[in-house]
Structure 1
Amino acid sequence: MKLLVPIKRVIDYNVKPRVKADGSGVDLANVKMSMNPFDEIAVEEALRLREKGVASEVVVVSIGPAKAQETLRTGLAMGADRAILIQTDDEVEPLGVAKLLAKVQEEEQAGLIILGKQAIDDDSNQTGQMLAALLGRPQGTFASKVEVSGDAVAVTREVDGGLETVSLTLPAIVTTDLRLNEPRYASLPNIMKAKSKPLATKTPADYGVDVSPRLATLKVVEPPKRSAGVKVADVDELVAKLKAMGVAA
């Protein structure tokens, strides 16, 4: 079985984003970029399934600028077999990403598509669900455990008050949550090997997909700074202040 893992190039999670002076978006100039953390978990899970003998090939795919090759090489260094870059300098919205991935799936015919539940740059949490709808395939979201058996996959996720497990008939789509696994680090020998692994470059036009934006960003602003707290001497003063704020009855 083949596994398809979409990955996204985002601002590194250790970096504090800066908003552009004109409020048109986030400043990406000279900012460290890396693989979306949830996608790292997806790659790791795919590799573990291959190591268990469930899968025979892991293919990583990314949609973005030429520099996204670096992110794909990271996936290859972790252990993926080959990569596909759908190159575009335009920002592609979740629906456009899902349409492109649907076309890739038509070519690859993967038994299981594993992707992060969301990207940390826009937190849309939409691509996996949209992809499942476009393909007409079952989906298991926010997975904290994935077990493949025969032509089905059992996906466990955390819900209020416990765990929920669903059984999906393959091929299926699974989105990963943080507790699914701990991604491995790429070793130096594997980083060197990744340079020679196949990486195909395509464009949205190759798949006949229109990725024109359907949404317009009106303004991006930083969240307001939290004001300093106030110390009170006793409960009576606390209640008085709360009443003055209209909080306490």
Structure 2
Amino acid sequence: MSGRVLVGVKRVIDYAVKIRVKPDNTGVVTDGVKHSMNPFCEIAVEEAVKLKEKKLVKEVVAVSCGPQQSQETIRTALAMGADRGIHVEVSGKDYESLGPLQISKIMAALAKKEDAQLIILGKQAIDDDCNQTGQMTAALLDWPQGTFASEVTLEGDKIKVVREIDGGLETIKINTPAVLTADLRLNTPRYATLPNIMVGSRKLCSQRQNKMQTLFFFRQAGMKVETVEDLVGKLKEIGKV
């Protein structure tokens, strides 16, 4: 494989910060709080850059969705060795409701637009711990996926992925294009040194506006039924079948 890799980089509250809940209990305090790149995203960036250094891929593109401050996260990825950055600007109420499905749709659309051969994401973010974006992105693109990767080896048009699973390790081979999600033991991310930060600040970071359509789902109170027939009857009553 020799092509373009998209890497998702999420801006999160720094892992060393002590979280404080807002007085109205609607969320956590973010104003004036140190943010940094999600640690699993750092691992994803490192793996993409290593593939480029081995001349197995041609270009690494860092993608971040969020407010203006997300460009700082992209600059960190550029300082680590990414070639280019794309900032999809999402702010205000849209950002507050931004979830894995919306991110997946953005990543899938960018993969098509950028003609990417590989997407590497962190397996999860430390703020919401959703662990959904990689799987959803693969589903939207109908691409093979190698999640919880602790080892990645490119073999022509195939990728060998060693996965962390409950029972130990699983080794799979998947075709490209593909989606990978990085687990903790995949690598140790490099530090962004001052000279690289200076170089990274001069690299290209394009900005795109995202028009989001937010769908709201409401959960109703549950009820108990005695039989399957009763269940079907209740579903018919509320228009679900």
Cα distance in 2 for residues equivalent to 1:67 and 1:215: 29
Residue type of the alignment partner of 2:51: L
Cα distance in 2 for residues equivalent to 1:189 and 1:101: 30
Decide whether aligned partners of structure 1 residues 54 and 200 sit closer, same or farther in structure 2, where only a CA change above 3 A counts.
Answer: same
Q: Which residue of 2 aligns with 1:237?
A: none
Counterpart contact for 2:159–2:176, Cα < 8 Å: yes
Q: Which residue of 2 aligns with 1:149?
A: 155
Please, what TM-score do these two structures have when normalized by structure 2? 0.85
Cα distance in 1 for residues equivalent to 2:163 and 2:85: 28
Q: Are 2:5 and 1:3 equivalent residues in the alignment?
A: yes
Counterpart contact for 2:148–2:165, Cα < 8 Å: no
Q: Are 2:142 and 1:140 equivalent residues in the alignment?
A: no
Counterpart contact for 1:42–1:115, Cα < 8 Å: yes
Shift of 1:80: 0.3
Q: Secondary structure at the match of 1:77?
A: helix
Which runs of 5 or more residues in structure 1 are unaligned? 217-249
Cα distance in 1 for residues equivalent to 2:46 and 2:9: 12
Shift of 1:158: 2.3
Q: Which 4+ runs in 1 deviate beyond 6 A? A: none
Query: 2:186 pairs with 169, 180, 183, which one?
Result: 180
Cα distance in 1 for residues equivalent to 2:209 and 2:108: 14
Matches within 5 A, 1:139-218: 139-205=145-211, 210-212=212-214, 214=216
Shift of 1:159: 2.5
Shift of 1:176: 0.5
> What's the Cα RMSD here?
1.2
Decide whether aligned partners of structure 1 residues 215 and 34 sit closer, same or farther in structure 2, where only a CA change above 3 A counts.
Answer: farther
Cα distance in 2 for residues equivalent to 1:128 and 1:31: 27
Q: Which residue of 2 aligns with 1:124?
A: 130
Shift of 1:214: 3.3
Counterpart contact for 1:143–1:177, Cα < 8 Å: yes
Aligned residues: 212
Counterpart contact for 2:164–2:183, Cα < 8 Å: no
Counterpart contact for 2:143–2:177, Cα < 8 Å: yes
Q: Which residue of 2 aligns with 1:16?
A: 18
Cα distance in 2 for residues equivalent to 1:200 and 1:211: 23
Cα distance in 1 for residues equivalent to 2:6 and 2:182: 13
Shift of 1:71: 0.4
Shift of 1:215: 5.6
Deviations 1:102-155 (A, max 9, x none): 111111111110000000000011100000000000001000000011101011
Counterpart contact for 1:12–1:34, Cα < 8 Å: yes
Q: Which residue of 2 aligns with 1:37?
A: 39
Cα distance in 1 for residues equivalent to 2:59 and 2:84: 8
Cα distance in 1 for residues equivalent to 2:19 and 2:128: 12
Cα distance in 1 for residues equivalent to 2:134 and 2:213: 17
| Bigger radius of gyration | 1
Please, what TM-score do these two structures have when normalized by structure 1? 0.83
Q: Which residue of 2 aligns with 1:58?
A: 60
Q: Which residue of 1 aligns with 2:73?
A: 71
Counterpart contact for 1:102–1:135, Cα < 8 Å: yes
Cα distance in 1 for residues equivalent to 2:163 and 2:37: 23
Shift of 1:160: 3.5
Q: Secondary structure at the match of 1:125?
A: coil
Which runs of 5 or more residues in structure 2 are unaligned? 219-241
Shift of 1:68: 0.4
Deviations 1:55-104 (A, max 9, x none): 11000000000000000000000010000000011231110010111111
